[in-house]
Amino acid sequence: MATQQISFLIPPYGTATLNLPELLTPDAFARLDSAIDQALAEPRQALGDAAPDPGSIEYDSWLNRQQ
């Protein structure tokens, strides 16, 4: 059985390695790409809900006072 490894360099944290049990066909690669995109969408949305930095808060309050 052929295996395939895909490694991603993530400075400064090291690497992340994806081990696949077989070589990917173009269709399987497209499905993998979609699955990874969906898996990473949740953390991205959580980052979007993070509290704004103090500078953004101050700027927004300044804009509100200008109205």
pLDDT of residue 6 exceeding 80: yes
pTM of the model: 0.49
Burial class of 20 by CB neighbour count within 10 A (0 to 12, 13 to 18, 19+): middle
Residue with more model confidence, 60 or 9: 9
pLDDT of residue 27: 92
Per-residue exposure over 25-58, b if at least 16 CB sit within 10 Å of its own CB, e if not: eeeeeeeeeeeeeeeeeeeeeeeeeeeeeeeeee
What are 12-57's pLDDT values in tens digits? 889 999 898 888 889 988 998 898 888 877 666 666 666 667 777 7
- What's the Cα-to-Cα distance from 16 to each of 6, 23, 61, rounded to whole Å? 8, 18, 41
Q: In this model, does residue 7 exceed pLDDT 70?
A: yes
